[in-house]
Amino acid sequence: MNLPNKLTFLRILLIPVFLLLILPVGNNITLISISPITDRFVAAFVFLVAALTDMLDGAIARKKGCVTVLGKFLDPIADKLLVISALIALVQLGEISSWAVIIIITREFIVQGIRILAARDAVVIPAGFLGKVKTFTQMVAIILILIKNHPFSLITSFPVGQCLLWVSVILTVISGYEYVSKNISRIKG
C-alpha cells in the first residue's frame, strides 16, 4: 500500500475520532471530552487534518506516479464520508439546516450513480474543478461552524460559516447539474 492510500485510510480513521469529540452518546455525555469549547476546537483540528490528507494524497499520487485503482475508488468515498459525517453531526447538534445536508447528499448519490455507470464501461470520471471548489467550501464552512466562526466572531456576529455552507449548497447544485449534463448519454444508456 502506497503513501497516498495510507493517507486516504487515515482520513477514514479520523472520522470516528472527530465524531467522538463532538457528538454526545446517551445522556449528553461526550466520550472524548476536555471541555465543550475545547472539544469543538480539537474536533475542528482533527477535521482539518483529515481534510488536508485529501489534498495531500492526490498531490503525492500524481507527483510520484503512484495512482492506483484502490486510490481512485477510495479517495472520493473517504471525502464524502468525512464531509457527510460532519454535516449530519452538525444537524444533530442543531447548528445547520437539514435542507442543506439533504441537497448535498442527494447530489452525491446522483454523482456516485453516474460513476457506477461509467465504471461499468471501465471509465473513471474524475472530479471536476467546480466539484473540488464545492468540497473545499464545504470543508471550510464545517470548520468555521465548529469553531463558532472564530476569528470572525471577534469582530462581527455575521454567520460566516453558515453563509459559506449555503454557498457550497449552490455550488453543489451547479456542479451536480454540470455532472449530469456532461454524462446524460451515459445515463440514458
CB within 8 Å of 159: residues ≥ 6 apart = 149
Question: What's the CA gap between 166 and 31, in Å, rounded?
Answer: 31
Alpha-carbon gap, residue 174 to 131, rounded angstroms: 9
Q: For residue 51, what pLDDT is reported?
A: 95
Mean pLDDT, the chain cut into blocks of 10 residues (189 residues total): 90 95 79 78 96 89 83 86 97 96 96 86 79 94 95 90 97 94 82
What's the pLDDT at 62? 85
Distance CA 47, CA 83 (A): 9
Residue 134: CB atoms within 10 A of its CB come to 25
Q: What is the CATH number of the domain that holds 165?
A: 1.20.120.1760
- Say if CB 75 and CB 8 are below 8 A apart: yes
Question: What confidence score (pLDDT) does residue 25 get?
Answer: 78
DSSP state of 153: G
Owning domain of residue 20: 3-188
pLDDT reported for residue 184: 87
| d(C-alpha 54, C-alpha 12), whole Å | 10
pLDDT at position 69, please?
Answer: 77
How far, in Å, CA of 152 to CA of 163, rounded?
A: 13
Domain count along the chain: 1
